Structure 1
Amino acid sequence: MSALFFAVLSEAKPWLTKLQAKPLAHSGKFRIFQKESHYIIISGTGKLSMALAVSEFSHLLSKEKRNQMKVWNLGIAGANSSELSLGEFFWIHKITDFGSQRDFYPDRILNSQFKKETNLNTFDRPITKERGIDRFLSLTEEELQNINLVDMEGAGFFEAASLYFPLENIALGKVVSDHLEGKFCQTEDIETMMAKVTDDLFEEWISPLPWAHVDEIDSIDWPSVETFIQNLRLTETMRHDLKKSIRYFRLRHPHSQLPFPLESEKINLKTKTDLKNYFDQWREILHV
């Protein structure tokens, strides 16, 4: 089972052709195509549209199906550096929502034939290095420092998908479409660039998740975690995020002992900020 989200039809077209997917009859807002247990969803541009599309699609599935589904967002992205070649494909290992400055960390694809990874910044408007171009947000070299790729959907996709799907089921990949010259890509160029990676990625996308039927978190790890956190007053969101991080660790290290932060440091947790820092450090250990 797999789901693939695109912003626009030109990104999705090579995949729709390859999959031979047909439109799904449903009462929702977004276009959904299906072939057997594989789905392609087109959201429209922008992180809000993408997040709503993820939510709408998720509500068509049972929790059991969501837990077994591979969920990807693919598409084009502008590159800050000319060293990143047009048509080059990158998996995304860090997403920054430029508006909120929130960071997200997608799972790394370990067995893909595409090996390159980089970071992605999601903006609310198209980005350019040039000045005075209508409909584009102009950024200086200083503002673009440490930014490799930019898009308008990645953060919205990941934040929404992580509410409905296990963290390790979610991945993002981007094809370099431009170098922020302030020009919109032509439809035929987008289709050509996406088609060049479709054949190689297709089998990876439709293959089942190796852990689709394995989840021992509740029975093995969570009881000891519950004992450790019983006096920490974590919010429900924090507990939810912690469980996802523990699952991530267990899948990567099936025979290792689950790491815990220092018990002695609990006495120093006087404020919500102290607790958040303690919690974030624990999750960071789990993602090593």
Structure 2
Amino acid sequence: MSALFFAVLSEAKPWLTKLEAKPISHSGKFRIFQKDNHYIIISGTGKLSMALAVSEFAHTLSKPERNQMKVWNLGIAGSGRSEHKLGDFFWINKISDVSSSKDFYPDRILNSNFKKETNLKTFDRPVTKEKQRDRFISLNSEELENLNLVDMEGSGFFEAASLYFPLENIAVGKLVSDHLEGKFCQAEDVETMMAKTMEGLFEEWTRPLPWVNADSIETVDWPLVESFIQNLRLTETMRHDLKKSVRFFRLRHPNSQLPFPEESDKINLKSKTDLKNYFDQWRETLHV
């Protein structure tokens, strides 16, 4: 099961054609296209529209479906780096929302055909390095110095998606469409660049998540872990991180016994710091 979010139709069009997806009838605001168990959603520009589209789509799914859903946001982004060529594709490993100063950290994509990674800043309006452009935010040389990619949807997508889907199911990828010249991209140019990128990504997107079919994690490993931690006051975040580590271990060691800390060490956990150290050391053993 896969869901792919785009801001505009020109970004989505090559994928819609390749997938042969058809629009579905529903009572919501946003356009949703489907073929089998794959979905493409077009939100419109801006992080608020993107966040609302993610929320609307998530509410069409059951919780088990969300847990099995691969959820991506792909689209164009401006680049502040002259070495970034038009059409270059990057996975995003950090998203910074400029207006709220919030940072988000998507998981890395393993075994992708595309190896480049960088960070992304999400602005409320289009960005340019030129001065006095209507509808654009003009940045000076100092503001541009540490700027890699910019867009208007990334933070809204990731913040909303993380409320409904497991973090390890979520990814953001952007291709370079301009160098902040203060001009809007032509739809046909966006379609051409996205079509070229799609050829290397389509199979990756439609491929099931590797842990969806790893039944031993849900039916064997995790019940054992829950039994072990039942008297430990782990936060929801700690439990989530631990489950990710268990998946990491099982995918790399399918036939090995899951490592556990010494049961007797639990008696020495007197403070939150003790628990955190105990927890971190356990996770380290799962990442060997």
TM-score, L = length of structure 1: 0.85
2: CA distance, partners of 1:268 / 1:208: 38
Q: Any conservation in 2 of the 1:80–1:180 contact (CA below 8 Å)?
A: yes
**Cα distance, 1:176 vs. partner?**
0.3
Which piece of structure 1 moves more, 244-253 or 204-213? 244-253
2: CA distance, partners of 1:127 / 1:258: 50
**Cα distance, 1:224 vs. partner?**
4.2
Q: How does 1:25-44 map to 2 (within 5 A)?
A: 25-44=25-44
Q: Secondary structure at the match of 1:130?
A: coil
Q: 1:246 aligns with which of 238, 242, 246?
A: 242
Q: How does 1:267-282 map to 2 (within 5 A)?
A: none
Relative distance call for 1:249 and 1:146 in structure 2 (3 A) is farther
2: CA distance, partners of 1:29 / 1:190: 24
Over the matched positions of the two proteins, sequence identity in percent amounts to 64
TM-score, L = length of structure 2: 0.85
Q: Secondary structure at the match of 1:212?
A: coil
> Does structure 1 residue 132 correspond to structure 2 residue 140?
no
Q: Any conservation in 2 of the 1:73–1:154 contact (CA below 8 Å)?
A: yes
Gaps of 5+ in 2: 262-267
1: CA distance, partners of 2:26 / 2:49: 18
Relative distance call for 1:188 and 1:65 in structure 2 (3 A) is same
Q: Secondary structure at the match of 1:227?
A: coil
Relative distance call for 1:117 and 1:265 in structure 2 (3 A) is farther
2: CA distance, partners of 1:84 / 1:220: 48
1: CA distance, partners of 2:137 / 2:35: 39
Q: Any conservation in 2 of the 1:167–1:248 contact (CA below 8 Å)?
A: no
Q: Any conservation in 1 of the 2:4–2:74 contact (CA below 8 Å)?
A: yes
> Does structure 1 residue 164 correspond to structure 2 residue 164?
yes
Tell me how large the CA RMSD over aligned residues is.
2.7
Gaps of 5+ in 1: 270-274
Q: Secondary structure at the match of 2:150?
A: strand
Relative distance call for 1:92 and 1:226 in structure 2 (3 A) is farther
Q: Any conservation in 1 of the 2:222–2:243 contact (CA below 8 Å)?
A: no
Q: How does 1:140-179 map to 2 (within 5 A)?
A: 140-179=140-179
Count of aligned pairs: 269
Q: Which is greater in Rg?
A: 2
